[in-house]
Amino acid sequence: MQYSWFIWSLLLIGIWFATYLSLDTKERKREMLIVSLLTSLLGLSEPLFVPEYWAPPSLFNLALRTGFDIESLIFSFGIGGIAVVLYDRIFHTMYEQIPSQAHHDPRHRYHLWAILAAPIIFILLELTTRFNPIYIAIIAMILGGLATWYCRPDLKKKMIVSAILFLGLYFFYFLILIAMSPGYVEKVWNLKGISGILIVGIPLEELLFALSFGFLWSSIYEHIKWKKLV
């Protein structure tokens, strides 16, 4: 079990590379790489989750000694890129730039606030509540996604479908961890600090995380770059 977290995160990178190589345009590949690099920074938030949410054995025992670990950076890199292109990869969508004059639409006045909504909500809840950080992350991503939905209603279909697709992918990905390391969830996750509900051995919170992450993150590139689905 010592290297389960590391092997599991490397497996995700394998899925990432397979997805990346299957993309049909340089623009898609560039989008996936940029979002992955930015998402990898979320791995630096790991000290907020260790040991309140889980306490995984990691390379050099970094997670338990410092809160930080290399695996979180790898994992965050992988999920970010996959979530942002999964819908496009399956449905072969096309994009076009939103004209600058359309930026003055009343809803677009909240463009920047909608993008920043999730991190702002996360920070506020982390400072003012005693919720387990996984619930704070889920709430922040859902509310951030709804803010994006309000600002960019043209992306709502992609956001909903992507949430379901990413949940499905993450569900089967998590089953690999369970098959690879029986008893790992019970040993590593702080089940007493969360709901303790397991669905086919997977903590409910992990599935809620996947659903909310796919909901928010699938639209982040188009929202920031002012692109729309054609």
The pLDDT, as a whole number, for residue 3 is: 93
Residue 97 confidence (pLDDT): 86
62-66, 88-92, 182-186 — most confident range: 182-186
Does residue 102 register a pLDDT over 80?
no
Spatial separation of the C-alpha atoms in residues 65 and 60, rounded to whole Å? 9
Residues 26-44: pLDDT tens digits?
Answer: 988 999 999 999 999 999 9
Task: Say if residues 206 and 135 touch (Cβ distance below 8 Å).
Answer: no
Average pLDDT score over residue span 78-100: 90
Q: What residue type is assigned to position 178 of the chain?
A: I
Interval 95-112 mean pLDDT: 75
Highest mean pLDDT among 19-33, 82-96, 201-215: 201-215
Residue 90 binned pLDDT confidence (cut-offs 50, 70, 90): very high
H/E stretch holding 91 reads helix 70-91
Mind spelling out the 3-state secondary structure of 179-228? HHCCCHHHHHECCCCCCCCEECCEEHHHHHHHHHHHHHHCCHHHHHHCEE
Question: Average pLDDT over the chain, rounded to whole?
Answer: 93
**What is the count of structural domains for the chain?**
1
User: pLDDT-based confidence at 227, cuts 50/70/90?
Assistant: confident
With cut-offs at 50, 70 and 90, classify the pLDDT of residue 129.
very high
What is the pLDDT at residue 155? Answer: 93
Q: Is 26 or 108 the better-scoring residue by pLDDT?
A: 26
pLDDT at 104: 62
pLDDT in tens, 138-191: 999 999 999 999 999 999 999 999 999 999 999 999 999 999 999 999 999 999
Give me the percent of the chain exceeding a pLDDT of 70: 97
Q: Domain span at residue 71?
A: 4-229
pLDDT tier at 24 (50, 70, 90 boundaries)? confident
Tell me the C-alpha distance between 136 and 121, whole Å: 8
